[in-house]
Amino acid sequence: MIVRNPKFVLSAISEKQYPDSNLLEVAFAGRSNVGKSSLINTLLNRKNLARKGSRQGMTRMINFFNIDDEIHFVDLPGYGYASVSKSEMNLWSKVITNYLNVRQQLYLMIMLVDIRHKPSKEDIQMYKWILESGVQHIIVATKSDKVSRAEAQRNMKLIRETLVLPDDTKIYLVSSQNRNGIKELWDAIDSYIVEEEENE
């Protein structure tokens, strides 16, 4: 997809604040500091469209971005940051699960995990929520520039085993720093969008 004019739309914390739009939505989920904002910026060829928190855990709301009036990218709050209160973590959980359960425009979830680490219990819970919602999804392992090729292969196996991914589920290995894997990921996103348009 050639992106020409992506725009920030709004931030929301509840359903009544979501955009009044019928555009398909591609949502990004992952732990704090997994690189969601960086990946969105890289996919859109923009440096700071998706704002990065000044510290981990600062992105507390759902951020919507209009991509050339064709689709919305949705940046969900990061989860799993240790320094926030339990009540705030519970609020984030409600914000994320409510979006997953009620947003009919949600067409594709992109779940990010850090290639350097074993998926956390929060990652496992996030993947469970995605499966329960029934939405189509893509698993992306970020920060590939931080590991060797051999380490990446070992850790992708660990990610697959920890999340209990089906054998035919592909893990997309990407880097927002050197753009490795970005075109392949865009091609995958495009394929889901084209499939939906053909079914309409």
Identify the pLDDT of residue 181.
Answer: 95
In 3-state terms, what secondary structure has residue 26? strand
The burial of 167, by beta-carbon neighbours within 10 Å (0-12 exposed, 13-18 middle, 19 or more buried), is given as exposed
Tell me how far apart the alpha carbons of residues 80 and 148 are, in angstroms, rounded to a whole number: 26
Domain membership flag for residue 44: yes
Domain membership flag for residue 1: no
Q: Based on the structure, what is the number of domains in the chain?
A: 1
Look at residue 78 in the predicted model and tell me its pLDDT: 86
Please give the pLDDT value at position 154: 96
The tens-digit pLDDT sequence of the chain (200 residues) is 788 899 999 999 889 999 999 999 999 999 988 999 999 999 999 888 877 544 444 457 899 999 999 999 999 988 876 556 677 667 778 888 899 999 999 999 999 999 999 999 999 999 999 999 899 999 999 999 999 999 999 999 999 999 999 999 999 999 999 999 999 999 999 998 876 665 66
**117 part of a folded domain:** yes
Question: Looking at the domain assignment, is residue 172 inside a domain?
Answer: yes
Q: Which pair of tokens denotes residue 11? A: 């931030």
pTM of the model: 0.90
Q: Identify whether 33 is part of a domain.
A: yes
Read off the CATH number of the domain in which 156 is found.
3.40.50.300
CB 46 within 8 A of CB 38: no
> What pLDDT does 47 receive?
83
The whole domain housing 90 covers: 6-15+23-199
Query: Is 85 exposed, middle or buried, given 0-12, 13-18 or 19+ CB atoms closer than 10 A?
Result: exposed
Residue with the two structure tokens 């050197």: 178
> Could you tell me if residue 183 is inside a domain?
yes
Nearby residues of 70 by Cβ (< 8 Å), 6 or more positions away: 1, 23, 193
pLDDT recorded at residue 10:
93
**Per-residue pLDDT, 49:** 87
- pLDDT value at residue 196: 67
